[in-house]
Amino acid sequence: MEISALTRSVVKRNHAIIAPDGYINSNVPGWLNCTVNVIINEQMGARLAQTLVTLRAGGQLTGQTQASQIFFFVVEGQCEASVGSQDRTLTAGQYVYVPVGQQYLFQNPTEGTQILTFHKVYEPLAGQATPAVLFGERDLAKAPVYMNDEALRIQELLPNELGFDMAVNIFTYSTGGHLPMVETHIMEHGLMYLQGQAIYMLDNEWYPVKKGDSIWMAPYCQQWATAMGQEDSVYIYYKNVNRFPTVI
Ligand code: UGY
Ligand code: MN
């Protein structure tokens, strides 16, 4: 029998593991006929938000971005997306980036469609245009080898241009793949595992993680990870980029 008093989730000062077993649903105005789990937000000390939305048949997400841009990624299922003047059907692995001040509508989902969102307050940069709406899809063929290690591949889902102040990448570790060093950096991460299992080290603590788990890493939270098991270990992650690093 499972013991309901146990969980792999932890919430610490500079990192969190959020496993689905502890989800409690939120109501979000304009997001209808769906369950919304707010996995990361500023209440934790984060400077991004990450949610997971599960749509019922007839569900819809409607709204207008304000100060924050939103990246929507279809984890499972399919739905119709209307953003700006563009209408597309999005299936698993496809995404749309919605810049600030833009209306969006997601509708006609298949039952159980899951959409992951990353939100960040947009910081404009003088001389750089605010990014436009962007559609795209997961594609391992567009994921170059990372740091000369054939076991590691990263696909960048947003262009590496100064107008963007956030990156969203898909990181694939094949069996035996691991980060080449303990990373110690100013950038913050939110992530969700899309496939497989891994061991993640955060601030010198060791966590087994798997598909469906999410992780928050504050700036300077030391991090290392290795794939575990017989299949690729894959996560989609957010990172803040391209802005002046200090107010001093
Ligand atoms: O881009 C990154 O900082 C990435 N290598 N970090 C991570 O996957 N934890
Ligand atoms: Mn990192």
Q: How far is the CA of 153 from the centre of ligand 1 (A)?
A: 11
Q: What is the pLDDT along the chain (248 residues), one digit of tens a residue?
A: 889 999 999 999 999 999 999 999 999 999 999 999 999 999 999 999 999 999 999 999 999 999 999 999 999 999 999 998 999 999 999 999 999 999 999 999 999 999 999 999 999 999 999 999 999 999 999 999 999 999 999 999 999 999 999 999 999 999 999 999 999 999 999 999 999 999 999 999 999 999 999 999 999 999 999 999 999 999 999 999 999 999 99
Apex CA 112: angle with CA 158 and CA 190, to 5°?
35
Q: How far is the CA of 6 from the centre of ligand 1 (A)?
A: 29
173 pocket-lining for ligand 1 (C-beta < 6 Å): no
pTM for the full predicted model: 0.98
Largest Cα–Cα distance of the chain, in whole Å? 60
15 pocket-lining for ligand 1 (C-beta < 6 Å): no
What is the C-alpha to C-alpha distance for residues 155 and 236, in angstroms, rounded to an integer? 9
171 pocket-lining for ligand 1 (C-beta < 6 Å): yes
pLDDT of residue 98: 98
156 pocket-lining for ligand 1 (C-beta < 6 Å): no
Residue 158 burial (CB count, 10 A): 19
pLDDT of residue 82: 98
pLDDT of residue 70: 98
pLDDT of residue 203: 98
pLDDT of residue 1: 82
> 34-50: b or e for each residue (b if 16 or more CB lie within 10 Å)?
bbbbbbbbeebebebbb
pLDDT of residue 137: 98
What is the C-alpha to C-alpha distance for residues 35 and 203, in angstroms, rounded to an integer? 32
- Closest ligand 1 atom to residue 217 Cα is 9
183 pocket-lining for ligand 1 (C-beta < 6 Å): yes
Q: How far is the CA of 189 from the centre of ligand 2 (A)?
A: 7
Identify whether the C-beta of residue 14 lies closer than 8 Å to the C-beta of residue 220.
Answer: yes
Among the bound ligands, the one closest to the CA of 146 = 1
* DSSP 8-class letter at 143: -
- Closest ligand 1 atom to residue 169 Cα is 1
